[in-house]
Amino acid sequence: MKQEDNTQELSPDNVYRKALGKLLYISTLSRPDIGSAVGILCRKTALPTNKDWNAVRRLVRYLKGTAYYKLKLPANERPKLVVYVDADWGGDMKSRECTRVHIFFYGGGAISWLSKKQDIIALSSTEAKYVSAAQGCQEIQWLRRLLTDLGMDTSEPTEVKKDNQSCISLAEQEDINM
């Protein structure tokens, strides 16, 4: 049995694009868990390869296996806004651009999520993650105003969850000299 060439470009039919359109729709509406993968695959719409098509097929198999997963908005007496932010450093091998990811929870349920390329090329993982955190904090301001307009209590501070110690240290400094 001959092994297929993963670098070979696919035929110019729109099957790849149609599949990605459907996956993008699903990830936007109800499946934040596939948002990053779909975002990365969408970057390859101009010249997809067999490797990219195999990744789409793998993602569809994952969705079939997790079809009964649901987003839950549990009832909480004191709901709180929490955001998880992250970024990769130079994840796009060609452009060296970073991908930032935010997911917002209110009362334990996911209410908003995002996965997209950053507008800058970071020189370190700390910079990539710090920029992602700063952009996540801008989104927090908008979400807090929206929740207030909807009559929700936003008096408690919003927790920002990060996993990079250098970024956390930089954010905690009182005087940042740049």
**CATH at 88:** 3.30.420.10
Separation of CA 167 from chain center = 18
Q: Is 7 inside any structural domain?
A: no
End-to-end CA, the chain: 59
Phi, psi of 137 (to 5 degrees): -70, -30
Domain co-membership, 58 together with 134? no
Answer yes or no: do 24 and 98 share one domain.
no
Q: Which amino acid is located at 118 in the chain? A: Q
- Higher pLDDT pick, 71 / 20: 20
**Pairwise CA distance, residues 138 & 44, whole Å:** 29
**Are residues 110 and 50 both part of a single domain?**
no
- Is 59 inside a domain boundary? yes
Same domain, 49 and 108: no
Domain, as residue range, for 93 = 81-172
**Distance of alpha carbon 122 from alpha carbon 156, whole angstroms:** 32
Report yes or no on 143 lying in a domain: yes
Total tally of structural domains belonging to the chain: 2
Q: How confident is the model at residue 1 (pLDDT cuts 50, 70, 90)?
A: very low
Q: Minimum mean pLDDT among 91-100, 111-120, 134-143: which range?
A: 91-100
94 and 128 housed in the same domain: yes
Q: How much of the chain, in percent, has pLDDT values that exceed 70?
A: 78
Residue 39 lies in a domain: yes
Angle of helix 35-42 relative to helix 15-29, nearest 10 degrees, comes to 150
How far apart CA 103 and CA 85 sit, in angstroms, is: 7
Same domain, 59 and 102: no
Q: How many Cα atoms sit within 13 Å of 47 on the Cβ side?
A: 4
Does the residue 162 lie in any domain? yes
Residue 76 resides in a domain: no
Residue 155 in this model has a pLDDT that exceeds 90: no
Cα angle 146, 151, 154; round to 5:
65
Per-residue pLDDT reduced to its tens digit, 27-47: 888 788 888 788 888 877 888
**In a shared domain, residues 46 and 85:** no
Same domain, 34 and 91: no
Chain segment 42-99, per-residue pLDDT in tens: 877 888 888 888 999 999 999 999 988 876 666 666 788 888 887 777 666 566 677 7
Residues 95 and 157 in one domain: yes
Instruction: Decide if 106 is inside a domain.
Output: yes
Domain boundary among 33, 65, 97: 65
- Per-position b or e across 32-62, b if 16+ CB within 10 A of its CB: bbbbbbbbbbeebeeebbeebbebbeebeee
Same domain, yes or no: 32 and 107:
no
Residue 74 lies in a domain: no
Query: Are both 37 and 85 inside the same structural domain?
Result: no
Structure tokens at 112: 């908003």
State phi, psi for 47 to the nearest 5 degrees.
Answer: -135, 70
Q: DSSP 3-state helix, strand, coil percentages of the chain (rounded to 5)? A: 40, 15, 40
CA dihedral of 134, 40, 45, 7, whole degrees rounded to 10: 140
Cα–Cα dist 13/114, whole Å: 29
- Same domain as 111, residue 60: no
In tens, the pLDDT along 103-113 reads 888 887 888 88
